[in-house]
Structure 1
């Protein structure tokens, strides 16, 4: 009789794997059930997934992937090159890749690409434009069995069929998803034979269930409430930096933030560590640029202390010696601390003669759509992801694209660097290019950069070497073996 590992999460959904998401709890389930051509490595970078090797042309427009031999889906049908191409083409459709407020995320990169199976194990992707960071996109290119496409296109996502390390055996009323190890997976077999993802929205209840032995893994625990796990010999408290950036988007198309001096002044005025301590009680790390320290090509500064004198000088030089009122759009959740954060930022900015007039939004989805449609006053509370420097630049900074979360910012030098990065297939050269872009976006900030959250994950037993994957997604193949669990039914 086998045992089952219970994983508690604040969200639990079986979504369409070709709809773009950065929700870590959704991605954890996707990664358990599905594979892409590549997977995230534990410490960053990419490792083989369905593809055992790949190569890219010098102009970064033609990518060739060679599949492993003998791949099969959970329904025992073969996973060959044409099956992979079918999923990539589906992912590239204009009606797919939808995330909150932003349609067609993958279409902008793959919509004009020729995706072809040249034989049973070889896939060629010919891009309309060079993308040296294509793996940033394909890591989310989950491959769905052809037998399931019609069902998914009808909106039924309840019976996923992938090639991943686990296959689904049951989903219970949106409260529980049960998985069992797929013995024909291409990788090293995960040590745990059976998993149960359970929904528990209350972090206190997740912690209690971990302590009582009802769960072996509890994700997104309260930072302060979980501290006593540090001294417990029977549990592990793992803290990981999440590459999501908590920011304020500046409306640079009009108003005060069309002036780069005002954008820079606010970034110089805020005390990020004080905000972290006050608003999230230490559960974050100060952010000094447009992407996290975990991002490829980031170049964070050690000194993030405010410079009020320089901030005041810039405000006066911009013509606001008598003060400046800024109108702020603020959601009531996502991030959940948005109101408290805005109050704390308002207090700090008063030191340079800046006041905030706050407009609250309770409907988070409508709020996101409003941002996408550029219906933002002067600035708005937001977050930025995923773990791709290229995608953040292309989707949020490049004025030529004017993407869903772009609000009028323009820096031609940064756009030139992005074009260089698109073409450069040498990782060290590309990293240096993105470091230049990072520094340019510190000198001329697109947003008000604040912090990266920390996530606490609790595990049963002592596992001092265990850590969350760099992208902040729970990799079930990397979970330790747990000493005692509830027998599976």
Structure 2
């Protein structure tokens, strides 16, 4: 056979092979495309949708104090240590271990290795120190905003923190100027979530709109309707999220939240009143969860007001409030009247203190005693939307207005959006204010120090809404912070509550038991005593019919 013929046969075979390979490649690509399409359609995004009464104020935990913000940020940021799911003890988080000197002043935290922020920058000792310097140093260029939790926890800037420095690449030393019994619990608060230093440098004060942490979820969007979306952090160092996304929706109306829960438009509905809770329990596809009673709602008097600086006037107002009637008018059957500012479930609660008795005639007598015989006018600042401790704040305001009128006080209600109430409260711009607190940690200090320490009256950072100054109370609060003996600390907190009950800078009104509605598809949800919980262990599962 001639060479030319062989060339021809070879050419034909080559063409056949090329054609066969091309067809095979096309089929292979088609099969791969079909497999990707199948996988995509088999795994649709699972989004856990949460309905709450109010939008977040900001997503930088260091500069917010409201629960709506912290409910989101706890899923974006990690702290050095974290509460267990019961809230009873502290566990490792970004710090995998720690130690403290015998005198309680020097703490060493070993930083977990291999953790990255959502912007792919690494976590190390220097990143932790960068955050502490931002929080504690007002001259730091990134100390932008009101760092209320730092001020409350550490007594100013820098307060009792002497220094924060690196011992090595993965060990941070924190030295205190005096012992601080709640120190470890304090570091577990969501306010001390560690943010990416690079993100802080890039966004500074705008970090509250562009959060970057190490948490189980990553920020995606926040729209003008108050809807916030977080997506799963696939590189999370801890327990991986069981859903692909979290969506927080702002739904002011209790009834609307319930209707959307019933209609499967949301999976979790926070803060439902008793009437709706009773309806919910009749629904086969829904279930109910309750938080422990770990809050207090109260009426704070601005003691710089010419009338309210008089103890007889403050006591008179106490006699004007019928707490049983108040609960019937503005709360539900799970609400308890408060006689002091420490919740009954918390150690240090003083069960021997009783509420001021309802007695309008005694109220009038006390007003006359200080020369008030004509009607006086006072302003009450309150929010226009529900809080966990005030589910119906406007109804409460109207009840107080009617009650005060019986004894000759004309109460003007200044009803404002929550963000404006916070701004005015932090600056002391009111005569009286409806205030409340959900406990962050299981320690009376978290209530009594925040409400009544003289240190907490600086404009812009006020949490002592009464502007109350009492050196004996300050000394007792300081002493209790420095002692580790819980029984001794308890005796100090009981003494403080007795002093507060005598001077009446504020009146404790109620403790509520917040109710949460859940779809039965929600599994693994555990309500945290503090009012905020990470949701990475929550999943959605179809219910067998």
TM-score (norm. length: structure 2): 0.75
Partner of 1:72: 116
Partner of 1:272: 323
Aligned 1:70-469 pairs, distance under 5 A: 70-94=114-138, 95-96=143-144, 98=146, 108-111=155-158, 113=161, 114-138=163-187, 139=189, 140-153=191-204, 155=206, 157-169=208-220, 175-240=226-291, 243-267=294-318, 269-282=320-333, 284-293=335-344, 297-300=348-351, 304=355, 306=357, 308=359, 315=366, 318-319=369-370, 325=376, 327-331=378-382, 333=384, 337-348=392-403, 353=407, 355-358=409-412, 360=414, 362=416, 368-377=422-431, 379-384=432-437, 386-387=439-440, 389-399=444-454, 402-403=457-458, 404-406=462-464, 407-461=466-520, 467-469=526-528
Task: Compare the two structures and name the one with the higher helix fraction.
Answer: 2
Q: Distance in 1 between matches of 2:429 and 2:446?
A: 23
Residue by residue over 1:294-331, the C-alpha shift from the partner in whole angstroms, topping out at 9 and shown as x without a partner, is 55633355965835399559827954696874623333
Equivalences, count: 482
Secondary structure of 1:83's aligned partner? helix
Q: Which moved more, 1:291-300 or 1:1-10?
A: 291-300
Q: Distance in 1 between matches of 2:345 and 2:144?
A: 28
How big is the shift at 1:447? 0.1
Q: Distance in 2 between matches of 1:241 and 1:265?
A: 32
Unaligned runs of 5+ in 1: none
| Cα distance change of structure 1 residues 174 and 309 upon mapping to structure 2, 3 Å threshold | closer
| Cα distance change of structure 1 residues 4 and 146 upon mapping to structure 2, 3 Å threshold | same
Unaligned runs of 5+ in 2: 1-42
Partner of 1:22: 65
| Cα distance change of structure 1 residues 413 and 324 upon mapping to structure 2, 3 Å threshold | farther
Q: Distance in 2 between matches of 1:312 and 1:156?
A: 49
Match of 2:82 among 39, 44, 52: 39
Q: Distance in 1 between matches of 2:245 and 2:273?
A: 27
Secondary structure of 2:74's aligned partner? helix
Residue by residue over 1:253-307, the C-alpha shift from the partner in whole angstroms, topping out at 9 and shown as x without a partner, is 4534334344345435533232111123446332221243455633355965835
Return the structure number with greater relative CO, CA threshold 8 A, min gap 6: 1
| Cα distance change of structure 1 residues 434 and 192 upon mapping to structure 2, 3 Å threshold | farther
How big is the shift at 1:451? 1.4
Q: Distance in 2 between matches of 1:415 and 1:108?
A: 11
- The answer to whether the 8 Å contact 1:265/1:311 transfers is yes
| Cα distance change of structure 1 residues 350 and 313 upon mapping to structure 2, 3 Å threshold | closer
- The answer to whether the 8 Å contact 2:57/2:68 transfers is no
- The answer to whether the 8 Å contact 1:168/1:178 transfers is yes
| Cα distance change of structure 1 residues 401 and 143 upon mapping to structure 2, 3 Å threshold | closer
Q: Distance in 1 between matches of 2:205 and 2:425?
A: 29
- The answer to whether the 8 Å contact 1:248/1:448 transfers is yes
How big is the shift at 1:108? 4.8
Match of 1:62 among 84, 103, 106: 106
How big is the shift at 1:450? 0.7
- The answer to whether the 8 Å contact 1:396/1:402 transfers is no
| Cα distance change of structure 1 residues 472 and 263 upon mapping to structure 2, 3 Å threshold | same
Q: Which moved more, 1:203-212 or 1:326-335?
A: 326-335
Secondary structure of 1:331's aligned partner? strand
- The answer to whether the 8 Å contact 1:223/1:455 transfers is no
Residue by residue over 1:345-381, the C-alpha shift from the partner in whole angstroms, topping out at 9 and shown as x without a partner, is 3444567x4534325354765655544444434x333
Larger radius of gyration: 2
